[in-house]
Amino acid sequence: MQGACACTHTASLPQDIFRREKLEKLADGLRPYTVQSTSSQTGLVEAMTDGHSVDSVKRRMLKASKPTSLEYYYRQRFDPLPTTEGAVPAGGVPSEGGASAEETGNATFEEAQWMCMYSVAAYSLVQYILALKARNACAMHVQCMRNACAMHGVCLMCARYVRRQRTLHPTLAPYTLHLTPHTLALQDRHNGNILVDSRGRMVHLGFSYVLGWAPGGMTFEKTAFKLTRDVVDVWGGRGSPIYDEFTNVMVQGMHAVQSHHRSIMRNVELMVASGVKFPCLTSQYTALHRAHIAAGSTQLSQLAQRSANNRVLSQLRHRFRLYKSKHKLRRYTLMLIDYAYENFWTTTYAKFQLLTNGIVP
């Protein structure tokens, strides 16, 4: 939990950077929350009373035989005009008649569209800088998925395999104490850990698995951030004015974090110098420690720890792309966006979550 506190604080630093660069709308897209550690294994997390996870919203809409697209949900929740089909309140349960934005305390649909875009852009930059990976407490199913997804994405054998791994590996038990109640997939970039608040922002939860750390040392998320067609359709699709603005603010945000990279670097350097065994640091140390054992090294602990710390810092520094000019950084950012949009691995992982944890994609 101490690692969760430190990583959550690090994830909030881009908001200050955006404000210093006069990117107020991008800064407003982030919604930091407080994590108070009470021990090494427990803590308190600030509640977001006006937010509902995308998974819970889609689950309730499925039960009501309504479309599960985010565009439909946004229109029903944030459109102030009454609808004949019934409106969807904050919790995602359809009700009779519509309600105005003033009555529900929600933004209008157009305001929610723009806030959704700014929040996705801001959190995409956070995901890229902090290298948020597929945070799987049991990552040994990756090879099974690769063999099964060639034709159908995932298969039922994957689900049975992972359920068996849950019982065979009691070491997974401590991970259940993190911010979300999922035993297998902890704090992943799935719909169970993304909330929609009353302003239309898509708020990401869970920043414990950062700096390239994935439990088990394996990850199959290939994109720098998550960008699905379901989200882009809320903005009007690719080529819409909101999508064009998304690409612009992504480039501006990347320039901002590159210009102020020292503030993020200093925060991570303090984490490294503190000597606290943060999981995102000790995971790489463990891998190097085993490598040195195999090589017959004598100074195992010091050498492995130093190498792991240097690797974390060098990888973080590399992601700022300090050697790229503004023009090249813009091209690089646009390439990241194109690659992330409806990426095969993102959609496949969503299907896998549906089979194993019942999380609606």
CATH of the domain at 185: 1.10.1070.11
Beta carbons within 10 angstroms of residue 324's beta carbon: 15
61 with 187, same domain?
Answer: yes
Q: What is the mean pLDDT of residues 280-294?
A: 55
Q: Quick check: 73 and 57 in contact, CB under 8 A?
A: yes
Cα–Cα distance measured from residue 145 to residue 160, given in angstroms and rounded to the nearest whole number: 12
137 with 224, same domain?
Answer: yes
Length of the chain: 361
pLDDT digits (tens, 9 = 90+) for 27-51: 999 998 888 878 777 888 888 889 9
To the nearest 10°, the Cα dihedral for 134, 137, 143, 149? Answer: -60
Instruction: Tell me what the pLDDT averaged over the chain comes to.
Output: 74
Most confident of 39-48, 77-86, 190-199: 190-199
With a cut of 60, say whether residue 225 has pLDDT above it. Answer: yes
Cα–Cα distance measured from residue 171 to residue 173, given in angstroms and rounded to the nearest whole number: 5
Q: Quick check: 333 and 251 in contact, CB under 8 A?
A: yes
Beta carbons within 10 angstroms of residue 101's beta carbon: 18
Count: domains in the chain: 2
Residue 100 CA: distances (Å) to CA of 80, 88, 89, 326: 4, 12, 11, 44
Q: Determine the structural domain holding residue 290 and report its residue range.
A: 267-319
Cα–Cα distance measured from residue 236 to residue 121, given in angstroms and rounded to the nearest whole number: 16
157 with 300, same domain?
Answer: no
User: Could you give phi then psi for residue 278, rounded to 5 degrees?
Assistant: -70, 140
Residue 81 CA: distances (Å) to CA of 71, 146, 198: 16, 47, 17
With a cut of 50, say whether residue 268 has pLDDT above it. Answer: yes
249 with 123, same domain?
Answer: yes
pTM of the model: 0.76
In the block, tokens 């019982």 appear at 167
